[in-house]
Chain A
Amino acid sequence: MTEGARQPPGDESAEYAPTPVHIDVRDLHFVRSGRSIFEGLSCGFPRGKLSVIAGASGAGKTTLLRMLARLLRPTRGEIWIDWEVDLTAMSEADVRTYRGEVGMLFQRGALLDSMSVYENVALPLRERTTLPEDRIRTEVERAFSAVDLHDVGDLLPGELSGGMVKRAGLARALIQRPKILLCDEPFSGLDPPTVRKVETLLQQVRRSSGATMILTSHHTHSTRRIADHLVMLNGKRALEGTPDALIAADEWVKDFFLEPERSEST
């Protein structure tokens, strides 16, 4: 388990290098509407692993995820990608390039409701590539089949169930074969069998794509089942490690994860 300060990139004396870190968050501060959300938050997300950002409601899980997407900028601090570029200091042009390598699944899917599901999933390719329409169709079919979604291409997003919207959103996030996949509360609003399906799907995606996946979730069961790496937002700072190691090492994390399980069993 690690907490707090991490070494700057390129520092030969750095002690920190337990796993190849893809994204490193360093000394993040964020104030919104006069309320401090982060005060010196530091954590890392290992390459090719499935990391879960967990914590109590209002701890800043989605805020951190949106910072990793550069949809929000911190008040202060750095977010290093591959120890090469600081996301917080990128120009808008570089951010567009960066986003070409990042897919994001939003909590409510964020599909454009004026377009069919097919058009939504095809949109990134139509906008960012010069692929011919038949090739785009092939890629969309591939993405649909990767998320186990069939015969919904002609429907509007409003005609889909919550689970299908999530899967369609995931198909859209995957179609550009991202190196980083960000998922905001992928299990929220789903019934238990659908949660299990989405869990399996996310694990399959990680295995097949090799992408670094970062999820926010308050589902303790799902987190324990699928997380390779856990970042617990505790107050305005973070604890990180494997789920089992964190539960064993920290009383607060233990209560956070095991209390709901005890409540359910009684």
Chain B
Amino acid sequence: MRQRIERIGASTVSTVRELGRFFVFGWSVGNAGRRPPWRLRRLRDEIFDVGILSLIIVCISGLAVGMVLGLQGHNTLVRFGAEESLGAVVGLSLVRELGPVLTSLLVAGRAGSAMAAEIASMVVTEQLDGLRMMSVEPLDFVVAPKMLAMALVMPLLAGLFITFGIFGGYVIGVVVLGGDGGQYLSALEDAVNFGDDVLGGLLKAAIFGVLVGWIASYRGFHATPTSAGVSAAATATVVIASVATLIFDYFITALWGV
């Protein structure tokens, strides 16, 4: 019994310590990143890595999700004679929830894991120590541009996901199942409010971007300097960032109504 309590205590202390390190890390990156020199070239490169290289996967996934929504939505709405609301169902689902959340999960899987693995391999090959020996702060030089790029790119990718999703819903609901195109678009326009829904959804995506970038950088930066440590950092990033996205999604929705 006593051993069990000790184990729970040790595990709690370890979790609290890890959380503390996580927040201190985020604070340090924020401090390092807001001081000049502004690393715009590195930011541009990171935006390319996170954003441009995720474009295809985000667009295809958005299209597929929109098509599924169109199909499921049409089949359900027909039962109630409300198939003219398909545009509203597809649009609201994508803009408020599925767009930001699924984009975050996709980006965590592709760019987040790559980011963690890249930073972790820099730890293994002593590249971060090499920077320190040149009095270049790795948090400023390596981590801050990556985190900022993730936060900037996530809303843009979510916007693309939503656009392709709405198009996918249109293809199924209108072109394949023979619904009215005008009705689809007018229902969409009536239901989706730009300020509350669109901007709210994109803000949510930006928060997920910060979260994924933060977790990926933290796991990479504190990776065990071995090849197993690199893969562990990448795996942990995908798992933790995905779960964190879903948990934060609930709290953002519950507290802000976005």
Contact = CB atoms under 8 A, between A and B. Distances in A.
A153 interface: no
Residue among B127, B131, B134 with max Cβ neighbours from chain A (10 Å): B134
A123 B129 contact: no
A170 interface: no
A108 B126 contact: yes
A112 to B, nearest CB: 6
Nearest to B142: A112
A172 B134 CA distance: 9
Nearest to A102: B133
Interface in B98-146: 122, 125-127, 129-136
Contacts of B133: 69, 71, 99, 102-104, 173
B135 A128 contact: yes
B118 to A, nearest CB: 8
A129 B134 CA distance: 11
A127 interface: yes
Contacts of A1: none
A99 B134 contact: yes
Nearest to A98: B135
A46 B230 CA distance: 39
Contacts of A99: 132-135
A173 to B, nearest CB: 8
Contact of B134 (A66, A107, A123): A123
Interface string A97-138: 001101110111011111000000001100110000000000
Contacts of A128: 134-135
Contacts of B45: 114
B206 to A, nearest CB: 26
A71 B130 CA distance: 10
A106 B134 contact: no
Interface in A155-180: 172-173, 176
Contacts of B126: 106-108, 110
Nearest to B128: A110
Contacts of A103: 133
Contact of A96 (B122, B127, B135): B135
A110 B125 contact: yes
A127 B132 contact: no
Contact of B136 (A66, A113, A127, A173): A127
Nearest to A110: B130
Nearest to A99: B135
A110 B129 contact: yes
A171 to B, nearest CB: 13
A130 to B, nearest CB: 11
Interface in B127-182: 127, 129-136
A190 B18 CA distance: 41
A71 B132 contact: yes
A114 B127 CA distance: 11
Contacts of B132: 71, 99
A104 B134 CA distance: 9
B135 A112 contact: no
A108 B124 CA distance: 10
Contacts of A71: 129, 132-133
B136 A106 contact: no
A58 B126 CA distance: 18
A108 B125 CA distance: 7
Contact of B129 (A100, A102, A106, A124): A106
B85 to A, nearest CB: 49
Nearest to B141: A127
Contact of A111 (B127, B129, B135, B136): B127
A124 B135 CA distance: 8
Nearest to A124: B134
B182 to A, nearest CB: 50
Nearest to B118: A114
Contacts of A69: 129, 133
Contacts of A108: 125-126
Residue among A96, A112, A128 with max Cβ neighbours from chain B (10 Å): A112
Residue among B45, B125, B130, B132 with max Cβ neighbours from chain A (10 Å): B130
A105 B132 CA distance: 13
Interface string A222-252: 0000000000000000000000000000000
B120 to A, nearest CB: 13
A123 B135 CA distance: 11
11 contacts: A71-B129, A71-B132, A108-B125, A110-B127, A110-B130, A111-B130, A112-B130, A113-B125, A113-B127, A124-B134, A128-B135
Instruction: Give me the 6 closest cross-chain CB pairs, A-B, nearest first.
Output: A110-B130, A110-B126, A124-B134, A96-B135, A104-B133, A106-B126
Given A71-B129, A111-B130, A128-B135, 7 more contacts: A99-B134, A110-B125, A110-B127, A112-B131, A113-B125, A114-B45, A128-B134
